[in-house]
Amino acid sequence: VTDDLKRVTFVGGGRGQWIVESMEALVGRGLRRVERVAVVEGPFEYGPRQGAWRLRGVTGHERYVTRAEQEELRRRSSGLGRTEATRTVLIPIRKTSAWWELAQDERRAIFEEQSHHIQLGLRSLPAVARRLYHSRELGEPFDFLTWFEFAPAAGEAFNELLRELRRTTEWTFVEREVEIRLRRAVPP
């Protein structure tokens, strides 16, 4: 893991800067309901187990975007941590072995040509800021940890994006998905 990659551990339990407003299992097994989530950035620690669950992830390089899509995403994306972006959602996702057995070109075709993931997602930019962490290669229970931040006014557009994505062919390969809505315990 090189230095431009960000490592994170989400610790679900009784402490942390994020208050859990809701937790919902959309597909497959949920996660134990907790009061708080601590977001621990930096090297993974191997100390005593804390919290009811811990989810680790690392940012990585893009796998599916074309040059044109990359440029449009960069032009329209906002950064994390905007003060007005008080709504936060953490969605851990695991995909089926059938997905992982596909070839790269087949996954790209399902992801964008059939499911329009980027095209749908771009509609909610720059209102929604996002970060994708990879977990599968770490031997974690989820393959991805997705993180979103937006202002209350963008809440309905975000819900609509969720409904659209969950109707796609890509989502037929999702075997576990948990939606965790969070709010900051203290102002930034």
Whose Cβ is closer to ligand HEM: residue 11's or residue 143's? 143
Q: Are 13 and 34 in contact (CB under 8 A)?
A: yes
State the binding string over 101-140 for ligand HEM (x if CB under 6 A, else -).
----------------xx--xx-xx--x-x-x--------
Candidate list 21, 62, 113, 160; residue touching ligand HEM; CB under 6 A: 62
Smallest distance, ligand HEM to C-beta of residue 56, A = 16
State the binding string over 2-41 for ligand HEM (x if CB under 6 A, else -).
----------------------------------------
Collapse the DSSP code of 119 into the 3-class scheme (helix H, G, I; strand E, B; otherwise coil) and give the result.
helix
Residue written as token pair 């919290």: 51
* Number of residues in the chain: 188
The stretch near ligand HEM (CB under 6 A) out of 30-38, 44-52, 79-87, 88-96 is: 88-96
> Would you call the peptide bond into 126 cis, given omega within 30 degrees of 0 as the criterion?
yes
The stretch near ligand HEM (CB under 6 A) out of 7-15, 47-55, 63-71, 78-86 is: 63-71
* Residue 37 CB neighbours (<10 A): 25
Q: To 10 degrees, the CA torsion angle through 61, 64, 70, 76?
A: -100
Q: Are 133 and 58 in contact (CB under 8 A)?
A: yes
Site for ligand HEM in 129-188 (CB under 6 A): 130, 132, 144, 146, 161-162, 165
Cα dihedral sign for 132, 133, 137, 141? negative
Rounded distance, CA 117 to CA 96, Å? 18
Smallest distance, ligand HEM to C-beta of residue 130, A = 5
Q: Which residues on adjacent β-strands are paired with residue 54?
A: 11
Smallest distance, ligand HEM to C-beta of residue 95, A = 6
Residues that bind ligand HEM (CB under 6 A): 62-65, 73, 91, 93, 95, 117-118, 121-122, 124-125, 128, 130, 132, 144, 146, 161-162, 165
